[in-house]
Amino acid sequence: MTDTHIRGTSPQSRLDDFPQALLAKLQEVVDLAREHKVAAILHGGDLFDRPDVAPAVTLEFMRVLMQAPCPMYGIAGNHDVFGFNPQTVSRTMLGLFDGFGLFRLLRPGEVAWLEEAGLKVQVTGQEFHAEIDRRNPVLDYCVLPAGQGGSLHERHPEADFAIHLTHGMLLEKTFFEGVAHTLLDAVMAHTVADVTFGGHYHPGWSKALPVDGRWFINPGSLVRLGNQSADYRRPMQVVLLELEPGEPVRHRFIPLRSALPADEVLDRSQQESQMARERALADFIQGIGDASQFEVLEVQAIMERIAENSGVPTRVREEALRRLGAAQEELARGGEESA
């Protein structure tokens, strides 16, 4: 599963109690894991909606996830850390989960091994970071043969299967201009992972994509946070992988019974106003584009664009991102004190 966005409040677009709906979904995931006797639950990032979710909220979800009959492995998404900086994860709720062993965080270059009945499965993961979708995609999205290419992610010779988790804008087709993304075509020919899981892109991919016996799968976010039309059409689902020695990968999508239809949880009256806001934002971006070429408004993205246009050294850009994360942490602490 991916992009669960644990939070203690309901988004404006939701008609229901979002935290309770998500708790029910995660309970169903735990029950499915028990029913199918899975070796592990894998998570593609953005376990949390923000890095400093309140402890009382976190405890509710912890109680559900602690019932899982197997370990949970996953990666940090952009919402899990401060300032899009994975180095801040130790100061987040995701870092707390990792410290307790409830969520085993995979970092670049690390391998988790799942072994059962003589079968050895390696699991690797690429967390979200400021350069993802802006640098060579092989570094983030590909598992290479051992000793080849100096990749952060390599396939061990003893692995019967290799699974790679990613959290970036890995897409089937070209996205909006100005939004950094990577096309699957740039990855498929290079990776030797048997299964590459995508996250971050909430609508997911149209289907599981097979290439020469390898699979590329993004089941989509486990939650509906907004009123995008894609959220009305897609199911809330998880993917079950079945692996056996000498056999090809088998998988199937399992829609969650606890997920209510979109019409029952999304406020359609908000959809028109959201579309109006998006049009106004697009017009504003277009208006300033002629003067500054800024096509995205996130602070981090604007900072990246300035750095690219002015030739700022990488170390300076990294220091700016570090300070951005520190500022976000300080603001979060200030909010807690005032509350």
Domain contains 2: no
Same domain, 319 and 249: no
Same domain, 159 and 307: no
Which percentage of the chain shows pLDDT scores above 90? 70
* Choice between 279 and 169, residue whose per-residue pLDDT is larger: 169
pLDDT of residue 270: 61
Tens digits of residue pLDDT in 296-319: 345 555 565 566 555 667 677 667
Domain end marker among 263, 278, 304: 263
Domain that holds residue 40: 18-263
pLDDT of residue 176: 80
Residue 193: partners with Cβ closer than 8 Å, 6 or more residues away:
124, 142, 143, 153, 155, 162, 163, 164, 214
CATH number at residue 150: 3.60.21.10
Amino acid at 267: D
Of 1-10, 124-133, 294-303, 308-317, which range is least confident? 294-303
Same domain, 96 and 46: yes
Q: How confident is the model at residue 274 (pLDDT cuts 50, 70, 90)?
A: low
Q: Which of 47, 33, 59 is CA-nearest to residue 4? A: 47
How much is the average pLDDT of 3-17? 95
Q: How confident is the model at residue 105 (pLDDT cuts 50, 70, 90)?
A: very high
Burial (0-12, 13-18, 19+ Cβ within 10 Å), 245: exposed
pLDDT of residue 5: 98
Q: Which of 253, 263, 259 is CA-nearest to residue 232? A: 263
Angle between helices 55-65 and 18-35 in degrees, nearest 10: 20
Same domain, 191 and 299: no
CA end-to-end span of the chain: 33
Domain end marker among 263, 297, 317: 263
Q: Which two tokens stand for residue 310?
A: 């002015």
pLDDT of residue 320: 72
Domain contains 227: yes
Amino acid at 334: G
pLDDT of residue 7: 97
pLDDT of residue 148 exceeding 80, the answer is no
* Choice between 283 and 234, residue whose per-residue pLDDT is larger: 234
